[in-house]
């Protein structure tokens, strides 16, 4: 028969092991081994996984230590271009997420893909129910169109030289072939597109009502995505709705380069509005 102290000691050790297992499984700072499938590559010293789920081509970059609550930034289009913001947030424990919506121009088809990817990440991987949206150039169409339908799922929006009205780009400022792809994505004729009022510039009220802060970075000399047709309209209308928007203007700069060489102002904006 075991002595009472020995039994208590074994019970204590068993209980301690159990709690250690629980902490390891649920700790927000531990990456779960084998969590992601697909092809593993390197993203500036962080693990990147390319995989397919529900017919979607997806990418995830994993921080070395996951921050509490599993925060994430959702990149729209041009994955890997000017990555300094993503790298800085990865270092703070954010995941970086991407799903392909090329040639869909923020249309309902693109929104559907984003809905499915959002559901997968939040339900299957425990990602935060709110995300940070990042859209460069034409990525502005999908981040704003998705956010307008899902304002309760968005912390804040960072848009860089963003397209905010497809009647500016690609209609006026791109090729006829690209404009036709846009029409095909929306299943519209050109006449219907001209009467359409579902662009980001038209759907700001839900964002303002939800208190979503916006950050735009623009080149003042941008001729590809003219400021006057896009960011200037967003800024004026969002302020009129009582919304919060900050615009960083780069004098003498065109559509490129995107972002800021030092992303601190972008990162500070994101963290402020988490």
- Pick from 184, 185, 182, 151: which is nearest to 165 by CA? 182
pLDDT tens-digit profile of 149-206?
A: 999 999 999 999 999 999 999 999 999 999 999 999 999 999 999 999 999 999 999 9
| pLDDT at residue number 210 | 98
Class of domain 38-272: alpha beta
* Region of residue 58 (left: phi > 0; alpha: psi -120 to 50; beta: else): beta
Q: Which residues lie below 8 Å from residue 250, measured CB to CB, with a gap of 6+?
A: 217, 218, 219, 220
**Number of helices and strands (H, E) in the chain?**
9, 9
**192, two tokens:** 């219907």
Report the pLDDT value the prediction gives residue 34, as an integer from 0 to 100: 73
What are the contacts of 246-249 at 24+ separation with CB within 8 A?
A: 246/213, 246/214, 246/215, 246/216, 247/215, 247/216, 247/217, 247/218, 248/215, 248/216, 248/217, 248/218, 249/218, 249/220
Count, residues in the chain:
274
Structure tokens at 84: 């300094």
What is the pLDDT tens value at each position of the chain, 274 positions in all? 434 333 334 433 443 333 333 333 333 434 455 799 999 999 999 999 999 999 999 999 999 999 999 999 999 999 999 999 999 999 999 999 999 999 999 999 999 999 999 999 999 999 999 999 999 999 999 999 999 999 999 999 999 999 999 999 999 999 999 999 999 999 999 999 999 999 999 999 999 999 999 999 999 999 999 999 999 999 999 999 999 999 999 999 999 999 999 999 999 999 999 9
Q: Measuring CA to CA, how many Å separate 136 from each of 6, 111, 139, 186, 213?
A: 64, 17, 5, 20, 17
Q: Where are the domains of the chain?
A: 1-30, 38-272
Q: What is the pLDDT of residue 131?
A: 98
DSSP state of 61: E
What is d(CA 93, CA 87) in angstroms, rounded to the nearest whole number?
Answer: 10
Q: Are 273 and 241 in contact (CB under 8 A)?
A: no
């Amino acid at each position: 028969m075991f002595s009472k102290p020995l039994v208590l000691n074994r019970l204590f050790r068993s209980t301690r092991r159990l709690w250690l297992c629980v902490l390891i499984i649920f700790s927000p700072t531990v990456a779960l081994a084998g969590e992601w499938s697909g092809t593993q590559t390197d993203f500036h010293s962080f693990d990147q996984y390319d995989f397919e789920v529900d017919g979607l081509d997806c990418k995830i970059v994993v921080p070395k230590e996951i921050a509490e609550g599993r925060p994430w930034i959702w990149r729209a289009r041009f994955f890997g271009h000017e990555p300094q913001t993503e790298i800085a947030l990865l270092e703070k424990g954010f995941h970086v997420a991407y799903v392909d919506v090329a040639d869909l121009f923020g249309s309902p088809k693109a929104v559907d893909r984003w809905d499915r990817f959002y559901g997968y990440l939040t339900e299957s991987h425990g990602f935060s129910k709110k995300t940070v949206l990042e859209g460069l150039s034409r990525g502005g169409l999908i981040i704003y169109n998705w956010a307008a339908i899902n304002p309760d799922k968005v912390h804040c929006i960072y848009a860089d030289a963003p397209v905010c009205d497809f009647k500016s780009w690609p209609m006026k400022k791109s090729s006829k072939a690209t404009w036709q792809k846009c029409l095909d994505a929306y299943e519209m004729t050109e006449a219907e597109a001209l009467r359409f009022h579902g662009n980001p510039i038209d759907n700001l009220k839900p964002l303002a009502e939800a208190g979503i802060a916006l950050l735009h970075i623009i080149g003042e000399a941008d001729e590809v995505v003219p400021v006057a047709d896009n960011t200037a309209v967003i800024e004026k209308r969002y302020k009129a709705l009582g919304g919060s928007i900050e615009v960083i203007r780069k004098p003498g700069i065109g559509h490129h380069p995107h972002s800021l060489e030092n992303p601190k102002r972008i990162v500070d904006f994101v963290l402020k509005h988490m």
